[in-house]
Chains A and B, each alone.
Chain A
Amino acid sequence: MTSVIRTTDLTKYYGKIRGVEHLNLEVHRGETYGFLGPNGAGKSTAIRVLLDFIRPTTGTTEVFGLDSTAHSIEIHRRVGYLPGELAMYDKMTGHELLRYFGALREVPDLAEAHRVAAMLDLDLSRAIRSYSSGNRQKLGLTQAFLHSPELLILDEPTNGLDPLIQQAFYELIGEVVAEGRTVFLSSHVLPEVERIADRVGIIREGNLVAVASVAELKERAMRRIELRFAAPVDTTAFDGVPGVRSAVSGDSGRVIELQIEGSVDAAIKAAAHYEIVNLVSHDGDLEEAFLAFYSAPEEAGRAQ
């Protein structure tokens, strides 16, 4: 698998203030990579090094196998970027901004930009000054897609977008992925990453604490299964069953709620000895897995 983004031991300090430390990121061609962490964790710092707005204190970063400082222009040509701290030329209209960036990119044909703007339901004829923050975000996304780049670097892409437009954004990402292009997006919103990313890198206080595929994270996530039996069942029936972390009974023993980590197979087989009236499974919450990484850094280290 070719890597589109690779940082090797990337460390960035702003004077004495920590940006990122010993960051080793690898994003493969064609994948959607979610860069997850709370605000201030260093997501934007890493992204801004990739684009050569800031320079590493130590370590190296490569995009398309090119050094991000030495070949920044070539990299910019092939990357679409949405800044996290999004500001726009207030005096321009949406159209004018796209024309300007289209010219700077030598992409005079704005058909793709217009298509994206239409998908996001953005009125390009108005002055950016009069845009709501949601509209600014839409324009930021539109300009990132303008030249159909092979890599999209999107810093908090759904900031300020209402749910309907978020849906349209997910569709856009789906298209990009279907075309074999790569998406690197940062977020502090878990469900969003869970929904569109193939892999997730979790960053905390400047350090990458875990990298996992979303499927893996889901695997690690606790599931909650609620079983209703025809006759009362004692919770001891689930003692020592692999994966079962807790069993709590209710309704005089007719209902048992199980917390299960990993596969539910053994628990279901144990339950099948009794007559089951109903079974409700609450899917694994990525947020719980995520928080588990946060509360137990040692464990997260192993996961890495």
Chain B
Amino acid sequence: MLSSVFRKTIWDRRQGYVWWAAGILAITGITLAFWPTIQADSETLSELIENLPEGMLSLFGAEDAGAFLTGPGYVNGRVFASVGSFIAIFFSISMGTAAIAGEEDTRTLDLLLANPIARDRIVLESFAATALLTSVLAAVVWVTLVIANPVFDVELSVAGITAASIGMVLLALSFGSLALMIGALTGKRPLTIGVAGGATIATFFINGLAPLVDSIAWTQKLTPFYWMLDHNPLATGFGWQLLVLVAATLVFLAIAIWGFRRRDVTV
């Protein structure tokens, strides 16, 4: 297992990972389990929801009150536009941080770099491990939804589940690669976690609230959440918008490699 940086990065997660997977499984499962209740009480709920401020709906990825009471709208709001994605994002950030900033923080980076491996490879293999384990989290969501969809009668399509799950991975990796980039540029762990975590929260709210104010509505398009959620992949399937997330990730990775190549490593 300890035969490359890639494998070692996965090995490092052997204890904590199961809890991330359990968390995302739980949130998906609980969401589905409540669907029959929500559907049964849809009249009361729709009154309640209509009285909610517009911002609340917008935050959880619903365009109008009705959207929350459809199967795809409900699952999207709970899993893909909020808690589920947050789990994937924070996991990805934690791996992106551990890669370089984490090793520098624990002072093991000198020892690692003394081996005959290029700095580029450390960045790329760490990212590959992050991508793989983040994808497995999304796969847990995918499997849960595909299996439970007919059971709870949520009316999701497999194509939609697939597109949204891929979207979740790409959304998480855009933040994970941001963390990797800040770590590669600065080597400072608290800064990396702070900036990447702060960016997640800030862009989540910007995406949800900016459309309510015309003058700043355009800022929504600067957030990864917009490119993941606005075209509603769970309902409509794969959209080209997800490629923007791929592009952002590649840019962050390229800057990470460029920055780490030329930087002094601290002790």
Q: Is A77 an interface residue (CB 8 A)?
A: yes
Separation of A258 and B262 alpha carbons in the complex (Å): 58
CB-based contact B106/A96 at 8 Å: no
Chain B residues whose C-beta falls within 8 Å of the C-beta of A89 in the assembled complex: 108
Chain B residues whose C-beta falls within 8 Å of the C-beta of A79 in the assembled complex: 114
Separation of A90 and B12 alpha carbons in the complex (Å): 11
- The contact of B107 among A44, A87, A92, by CB within 8 Å, is A87
Separation of A53 and B117 alpha carbons in the complex (Å): 13
CB-based contact A104/B5 at 8 Å: yes
Residue of B nearest to A54 (CB): B264
Separation of A44 and B107 alpha carbons in the complex (Å): 14
| Shortest distance from the beta carbon of B5 to any chain A beta carbon, whole Å | 7
Chain A residues whose C-beta falls within 8 Å of the C-beta of B12 in the assembled complex: 91
CB-based contact A48/B4 at 8 Å: no
CB-based contact A73/B264 at 8 Å: no
Q: Which of A195-233 contact B (CB under 8 A)?
A: none
Separation of A100 and B262 alpha carbons in the complex (Å): 26
CB-based contact A76/B110 at 8 Å: no
Residue of B nearest to A14 (CB): B264
Separation of A14 and B262 alpha carbons in the complex (Å): 14
Q: Which of B224-266 contact A (CB under 8 A)?
A: 262, 264-265
CB-based contact A77/B108 at 8 Å: no
Q: Is B53 an interface residue (CB 8 A)?
A: no
Separation of A19 and B4 alpha carbons in the complex (Å): 33
Q: Is B2 an interface residue (CB 8 A)?
A: yes
CB-based contact A103/B4 at 8 Å: yes
Chain A residues whose C-beta falls within 8 Å of the C-beta of B262 in the assembled complex: 55
**Given A87-B108, A88-B108; A103-B3 close (CB under 8 Å):** yes
Q: Is B222 an interface residue (CB 8 A)?
A: no
Contact with A along B91-131 (1 / 0, CB 8 A): 00000000000000011101111111110000000000000
**Given A99-B2, A103-B3; A55-B114 close (CB under 8 Å):** no
Q: Is B8 an interface residue (CB 8 A)?
A: yes
Contact with A along B2-23 (1 / 0, CB 8 A): 1111001000100000000000
Q: Is B201 an interface residue (CB 8 A)?
A: no
Chain A residues whose C-beta falls within 8 Å of the C-beta of B118 in the assembled complex: 73
CB-based contact A55/B4 at 8 Å: no
Give 6 CB contacts A-B under 8 Å: A55-B264, A76-B115, A81-B111, A85-B267, A87-B111, A104-B5
